[in-house]
Each structure stands twice: as C-alpha cells, then as structure tokens.
Amino acid sequence: MRCLLLTWPIVFVIAIPLFGLEDSEPLPHADNLIEWLGMEMPEAQESLGTPLSIFAHRGEVEEEDNVVFYYPNHLYLFWFQDRVWQVRVDERWQGEVDGLRMGMAREEVLALWGSPINEWDDWPTWTLPDRGFPSRIRLYFDEDDNLVDLYVYRSDW
C-alpha cells in the first residue's frame, strides 16, 4: 500500500500531457524586444546611440501622446516619463521574435503562437511573461494579411 501511495504522484505528473492539461502552444517571450521596456535614456543612448529621428506621436487623448525615438534598424522606442514603455518594429525590420518575421501570413503566425487573447479584433495580442510589470505583444497585418507592424508594450499604462 505504501508503495502505491508513493508512485501515485509520479503517475499523475507523467499523465498530465496525455490528458491535454499542459499548454502545448509555444507562447511568445519577445526577449529581444521586451528588454527595452523600462529602460532609461542613458541606457538607450549607450546601447543604440543617437536616434536617426525624434518625433511626437499624437494619441487620441493627451495622456496618450508620446515622444518616439526612431533608429536606422527600424526600431522605435516610445517614451513616457523618461522610460521606454513601448517598442515598435515596422515591416522593414530584419529581426525575428520567437520565430516570427515581418511579412509572415497571419495563419503562419497563429500556427506558430496559437490563439491570441483577443480574438474579437484584427490586431492579435498575446500576453508576455511578467517582468515585474505586465506586458504584451500586438501584431498588425496589411490588406493581404501579412505582418507589417509589431508592438511590445507595458500593458499597465
């Protein structure tokens, strides 16, 4: 009887994947972009140098206005109170985020990452691992359903 009681937890742990209780879809981590969130000006300048362009991005309301630094590698840093709160890469960006590349078809992205948290609109969003603050990744597709924009952002602002 004692032997049976000791083996029960082992059997349960082994059986979890068989019953589909384990999440099998690889979710994005976006480590190569999320690392910029929360960064202060001196760190960004030391890492990336001087931006190619600086501009204002007008939001729907005044609280959504941002100063944006644009870099030649097609990386955009959005600033709020001296810290980066959002990172954007556009369709010209040559990098990769967890297997995702610019120009990929929407169905390829969904096959790679699984279902987004918001299936009700055209801009799929996934929750990223917590880094002391909640963060997300949001994708934008063109009229042919190819990826053209990607945003990683703090979702608490």
Q: For residue 87, give Cα distances in angstroms to 21, 23, 143.
A: 33, 27, 23
**Domain residues of the chain, as ranges?**
22-154
Residue 89: CA count within 13 A, CB half-sphere: 20
Q: What is the pLDDT of residue 21?
A: 36
Q: What is the pLDDT of residue 15?
A: 39
Q: Provide CB contacts within 8 A for 98, sequence distance 6+.
A: 26, 28, 29, 30, 112, 113
φ and ψ at 28, to 5 degrees? -70, 145
Report the C-alpha gap between 90 and 75 in whole angstroms: 7
> Given CA atoms 37, 41, 46, 49 in this order, what sign does their dihedral have?
positive
- Longest CA–CA span in the chain (Å) reads 72
Mean pLDDT of 107-129: 90
Strand ranges of the sheet holding 75-80, from the earlier edge strand across to the other edge: 53-57, 66-71, 75-80, 83-90, 147-154, 135-141, 125-128
Q: Name the CATH topology of 22-154.
A: Pathogenesis-related Protein p14a (3.40.33)
Instruction: Give pLDDT tens digits for 65-108.
Output: 889 999 999 999 999 888 999 999 999 999 999 999 999 999 99
Report the C-alpha gap between 144 and 156 in whole angstroms: 32
Instruction: Give pLDDT tens digits for 7-59.
Output: 444 443 333 344 333 445 566 888 889 999 999 999 999 999 999 999 998 87
Q: What is the pLDDT of residue 65?
A: 81
What does DSSP assign to residue 97?
Answer: B
Q: What are the DSSP calls for 7-46, one per residue? A: HHHHHHHHHGGGGT-S--SPPP--HHHHTTTT-BHHHHHH
